[in-house]
Structure 1
Amino acid sequence: MSTVRGPLTAPTRPTSAAEAALELARGGARPRAGGTDLAACVESGVVAPGPLVDLARAEDLRETRWTEDGGVRIGAMTTVAALGTRPRLAEAYPGLAAAARALATPQVRSVATVGGNLLQRNRCPYLRNPAFDCFQTGGEGCPARTGDHLRGVVVDLGPCAAPHPSSLAVALLAHEATVVVVTGGGSSQEGGQAERDLAALYDGTDPTRDHRLAPDELLTAVVLPAPVPGERAAHLRAAGRARAEWPLVEAVVRLECAKEGAGPVARAWVAVGGVARTPLRLSGVERALVGAVPGREPGPGFDRALEGVADLCSPLPSTGYKVDLLRASVRDAVERALGAPAR
């Protein structure tokens, strides 16, 4: 006889972010956005069935608001599909749009949300197999380190060997996004709203969790600064197959170029994923790209910086291949950005 696994009680369905935050502040419940990862986590035993706060009716979590300075605030319940298909967003933030369009499948993108993608659990097969214990399930070790870690980290930041799975986090890091978090009931005297750097969501040295939000905190929006003039961007996803595959390495490159995109690079942003417990910026590569000219090879300074990426890496026995794959992916993304038509 089959056993149905799932929440034991009906979820609450708040109609606003403030109501949702208040429900979470009472304790014992977890938020549900699109549910694409949560359902899989419950089914595999990664999380125990329990009370849910369903965010589907919180319309303010779906709002996209353009700010006076030309930036944008995107609600956490905005679907991944919307990031890649809304013309104004795609024109203003091409690196983010490209990453969104490459993620998963059309069916998943139409349901999965911005907040859910940023806060999803990692894809380590040991975490998602109830026969194993690890740091994230209350155990005292990482079985992947001595077992199957072919897709594991190559920039080793801490005890857990699973790369962070969020493609949107890589793109948003390159776009210097911040996140809005409501704590302890939102508008109550004990609670409040805070805006944090995206990088503050993650801590590669803590093996027990994939993000730093507390159980009573709710991510309500991401905020992107105004697009830079003369921007060129590219996204590259290195995977074992073209569709519905988690990336082995991912790169998002943004270049601010003079003369409306035709002149030399004034600033560069290079973010990578699939290689560490958190998404990373490659600051040395970014500095080396200043002065590069669109339509030309980046130059010897870039080559040296790219070779230096190996110094960041401390591969596991089976992830040494990612060192070369990381450098090749960044080079490819940079060359695409330099050769792409200006916005």
Structure 2
Amino acid sequence: MTPEPDRTDPTDLTGLADAVRARGGELRAGGTDTGARQRSGVSAGPFTDIHGAAGLHGTAALPDGGLRIGALTTLAELAADPQVRAGWPALAASAGTAATPQIRAAGTLGGNLLQRNRCWYFRNPHVSCLQKGGAGCPAREGDHHFGVVGGAGRCIIPHPSTLAMALLTYDARVEIHDEEPRSVADLYGDGDLLHRADHLLPPYRILTAVRLPAPLPGERAACHRATSRAHAEWPLVEATARLAFDGATVTHAAVAAGGVARVPLRLPEVEAALIGREGTPEALAAAAATVVARCRPLPQTGYKTTLFRDTVLEVLEQAAGATAAAQEH
């Protein structure tokens, strides 16, 4: 039976939220994830479209020098925006490397933050799992070579949001309609609670925007995705780094990783190992190696321990190299 078409006024956020409360189902923005789940039979709707909602597109400067980005801004728009590229390069770079050009043209900032995981058991309508209200995680005893390498949650599939990882390094905040702003990290919690969801936002709550703080003068950023093939592949591990230097000494470091846990991870141990030290190859390698202590691999994810360390080292080297090059010129 075809769901009744959504006729809610897309400019009325309260009406949109009330429609989801009354009808159930999900909000839909760019539709890249909801459409895929609908086609596979995992999500039946009904879907309440928010793409025409007022104030959810584009960027606006904030009085404190920060930037407000509407939740319906596409990944392609973020990657190409000169203001974002200049002031918040880690976000622009992450948006430009995510998914494929076609998905970046349709996928939105909010949709990327609130998407569902890519577990093939979850996305099979004939398989029961924790994410669909079942009693267990079939990936744990089945094929989980794309699974987590850290964390003790019942579900073992990593969160897929590349932009959440990048936003963690900026201490960004999200705006929620009819709620107080919260940190991006607060969308996900510690991961242990996420056995039936990939974020903590109720279905009827609308993420309206992301707020970035003012840029850090002289910062350099890098992101890297380790994949099993060159194009159109979800990362096995990915990382983002922001560094600032005073001469050769690291004065600021913000590092995060994805593909390794149920939530995107900020890596304070890496940051602490860098700040106040010279950014030598040895120091970068030692900082990257600190992530090994948090790894508790599953039988099929042992390879991710080394890959996690190496991916973090790659972004640190890229960011430090970009800083050195900028100082030389």
The TM-score range, normalised by the shorter chain, is over 0.9
Q: Distance in 1 between matches of 2:281 and 2:2?
A: 54
Q: Tell me which residue corresponds to 1:180.
A: 175
Tell me the TM-score normalised to structure 2 length: 0.93
Deviation sequence 1:290-310 (CA, Å, 0-9, x none): 13446x4252xx544433322
Deviation sequence 1:245-272 (CA, Å, 0-9, x none): 10000000001223xxx54211100100
Q: Tell me which residue corresponds to 2:207.
A: 219
Select the residue among 259, 273, 277 that pairs with 2:262: 277
**1:105 Cα offset (Å):** 1.0
Structure 1 window deviating more from structure 2 (318-327 vs 214-223): it is 214-223
**1:56 Cα offset (Å):** 1.5
**1:194 Cα offset (Å):** 1.2
Q: Distance in 1 between matches of 2:282 and 2:101?
A: 35
Q: Tell me which residue corresponds to 1:291.
A: 276
Q: Distance in 1 between matches of 2:5 and 2:51?
A: 17
Point out where structure 1 has 5 or more consecutive residues left out of the alignment. Answer: 183-191
Question: 2:150, 2:296 within 8 Å by CA — same for their partners in 1?
Answer: yes
Select the residue among 119, 122, 125 that pairs with 1:130: 125
CA 1:297–1:199: 2 relative to 1, 3 Å: same
CA 1:342–1:224: 2 relative to 1, 3 Å: farther
Select the residue among 302, 306, 314 that pairs with 1:332: 314
Q: Tell me which residue corresponds to 1:266.
A: 251
Equivalent residues in 2 for 1:1-343 (5 A)? 7-26=3-22, 28-50=24-46, 52-182=47-177, 192-203=178-189, 204-206=191-193, 207-258=195-246, 262-293=247-278, 296-299=280-283, 302-340=284-322, 341-342=325-326
Question: 1:164, 1:210 within 8 Å by CA — same for their partners in 2?
Answer: yes
Q: Distance in 2 between matches of 1:125 and 1:242?
A: 21
Point out where structure 2 has 5 or more consecutive residues left out of the alignment. Answer: none
How many residues end up aligned between the 2 structures? Answer: 323
**Matched residue type, 1:101:** G
Q: Distance in 2 between matches of 1:292 and 1:298?
A: 11
Tell me the TM-score normalised to structure 1 length: 0.89
Q: Secondary structure at the match of 2:180?
A: strand
CA 1:121–1:6: 2 relative to 1, 3 Å: farther
Q: Distance in 2 between matches of 1:32 and 1:13?
A: 14
**1:26 Cα offset (Å):** 4.0
CA 1:78–1:298: 2 relative to 1, 3 Å: farther
Structure 1 window deviating more from structure 2 (9-18 vs 31-40): it is 9-18
**Matched residue type, 2:315:** A
Q: Distance in 1 between matches of 2:326 and 2:41?
A: 47
**Matched residue type, 2:294:** L
